[in-house]
Structure 1
């Protein structure tokens, strides 16, 4: 970490601590103030956000600002020109950030008709963004830059009604993010963790064990954003490859996905004793407290990390176990990197069946063999399914499981990590 970045995040941490202290020391004063406001006749609550109306306006004129590459380029140009100090909040390479923002725009536009769902997602995003040092003032700068970029990209056909639909959409999402950040003031924005183990299982894949300096709360099946001091403002998400352990140690499986990025820093340039930063755990691919169904787990590549954690969690439960069937897919026998773990679980627990699928092969149908194996081993309509791996596998497999043949597996009983921008 460079000194400027260290000082900036220390200042933000002190700011959060002061706000939290004020909240903890004066709950009565806050309640009294709220009650006084009600007695004095506070303004009526705002009407619920009509996301569907803004969605129609945005979609009807989407061709003016898509594809989003130019819009996002103009946005960051404007933001860094007007507020150059914000540049230090971003990594040196903006490629991943641009793709991530494009995914966020598409998610908002496609789901705006369901404000409750959008609010839930962006509340979690606001909690996660604390690790970046984002503050409400930064959102205001982002809004101004977005408006400038929309006008520049769309040209003379752009009008006030279109712009206001985008602004309302953005403000709704930002309000949820601010609520999420405020609710998380009692936890660190990020956790420091020391690397205790680094095993290169293949030239392009490493298994890392890290020990956080403070208790790190998470559940099996979740993922965390990881940053290396070699690229302090660049974060990538990796599944936690173990259930919570008494010693607090964590495990990550990291595959090299490109040169110069976080994955290369973690695979090729990280050693025991190094310090990493972890964002808060996220994801809903977790086991229910009371399991009512047998389990189907499908994992490909380093998607095995999440499946491994879930099976460890299941094995640790003292109640009667549900049966579980794991399908583990790899392209080639040489791609197997953690073979002892599924074999050991299978030997120890009679309720677990493991099917390895080898020969997925690159190309448009790269996961065809895995999908065929899952479909050919029986009907899964009564199961609870967990699917983990690259989006090119997860999306089609989830669609196949929930589409039939009848009776199909209900979509509500298929769990997987978010598909866009997930680094495996």
Structure 2
């Protein structure tokens, strides 16, 4: 514990920056590196094997770092695999990637990440890549990976430094908790200090039941005068953090909330009609966006396509009905009958619904539903810069969370019922 406190405590001297022999952030053109890395993905690419080798190397050479991670690493491993895929997929768009990594660096402050940790990560990644590729590994391919990583790290360090005036996370207390069905809860919370965010964004939540484990959840309301926050959280039974937030959290319980993230926001008064496509708990972000549009001087004509498996899965119907009653500019189209939350039926309903090529589109929900809707909108002629959605990073759960990957060395977390009883002081 003493070593961990020394590692995570503020440094007495300026923190070391990541290696300086990478590309200058303002001059990096990653298209060439993208082509080289993509062409060699079968040799060494984001995969469970690569992630396992990376963390094995990191914890073998620097055992103290294990204490900075949650007991179960399944979510973390899947999240890192998806993050590396996102880097590779966006290397040819450095400005967009830089903005993404800057926000990521700001958010990573809540984990206790410092610049020296990025150097450890780089060395571990290089070792893992060489281990996966074996004798076929080349220096050119390794340098492409390292240039990509150093570009991302430079942006993340810049994001962390820009956010030094704000806390790495906010302490909050649960002010409301309502179960809306099996594995689904609407949670209200209020932070001890002012918390800034925008409609359409999301934040990572942590419950004290599972220290160091964070999960992303969209805000389900536009900023309110009383500072209360709202989240819609779904647990599929495979994620302990989401299960804890849904089934083992109540009014008065503490939460930690990371900084707001995401660019799926309304920029001033939209100068064109709006299309919102939401599936499942994607309704949370849609609801926040509609509340913000309602407050504008001239709300645009807006179509909402809302996907759900059954009428009973439309869990927040009073709020939806109230919005319809107040907003004559809003038309709601429910899309029902899809067991997967309206994934394919939702995209097809949007295609049949009209000509959206001149609209500003927002898409939220489970990753598969978001991907299907984005592909459909692109096929219908909506330009990519007018289709707004957060990065699609994995399988369905409370939000866009990756599918867990179990590693033999992952330590299973104690049962949540046991943790909940211990925290409440019960035997």
> Do they superpose with TM above 0.5?
yes
Query: Which whole-Å CA distance do the structure 1 matches of 2:111 and 2:66 have between them?
Result: 12
Contact 2:25 2:155 in 1 (8 A): no
Pick aligned residue for 2:369 from 389, 393, 396: 393
Which structure: greater helix fraction?
1
Pick aligned residue for 1:352 from 330, 333, 352: 330
Measured on the aligned residues, the alpha-carbon RMSD in Å equals 2.4
| Correspondences of 1:145-184 after superposition (within 5 Å) | 145-184=124-163
Q: Does 1:410 align with 2:389?
A: no
Unaligned runs of 5+ in 1: 21-44
Query: Which whole-Å CA distance do the structure 1 matches of 2:2 and 2:347 have between them?
Result: 49
Q: Does 1:88 align with 2:42?
A: no
SS in 2 for 1:63: coil
- Residue 46 of structure 1, CA deviation: 9.1
Query: Which whole-Å CA distance do the structure 1 matches of 2:38 and 2:78 have between them?
Result: 20
- Residue 89 of structure 1, CA deviation: 1.4
Q: Does 1:226 align with 2:202?
A: no
Look up the match of 2:236.
257
The CA deviation string for residues 243-293 of structure 1, in whole angstroms up to 9 with x for no partner, is: 000110000000012345210010011111111111110111111202101
Look up the match of 1:303.
282
Look up the match of 2:419.
none
**What is the count of residue pairs matched by the alignment?**
389
Look up the match of 2:346.
370
Look up the match of 1:27.
none
Q: Does 1:336 align with 2:318?
A: no
Structure 1 length-normalised TM = 0.86
| Correspondences of 1:227-242 after superposition (within 5 Å) | 227-242=206-221
SS in 1 for 2:42: helix
- Residue 153 of structure 1, CA deviation: 1.5
Unaligned runs of 5+ in 2: 16-23, 400-427
- Residue 391 of structure 1, CA deviation: 1.3
Give the number of the structure whose alpha-carbon radius of gyration is greater.
Answer: 1
Gap change, CA 1:369 and 1:51, over 3 Å in 2: closer
Query: Which whole-Å CA distance do the structure 1 matches of 2:306 and 2:220 have between them?
Result: 15
Contact 2:51 2:77 in 1 (8 A): yes
Structure 2 length-normalised TM = 0.85
Query: Which whole-Å CA distance do the structure 1 matches of 2:31 and 2:375 have between them?
Result: 26
Gap change, CA 1:159 and 1:368, over 3 Å in 2: closer
- Residue 75 of structure 1, CA deviation: 0.8
Runs of 4+ in 1 over 6 A off after TM superposition: 3-6
Query: Which whole-Å CA distance do the structure 1 matches of 2:241 and 2:145 have between them?
Result: 32
Query: Which whole-Å CA distance do the structure 2 matches of 1:169 and 1:290 have between them?
Result: 37
Look up the match of 2:415.
none
Q: Does 1:118 align with 2:103?
A: no
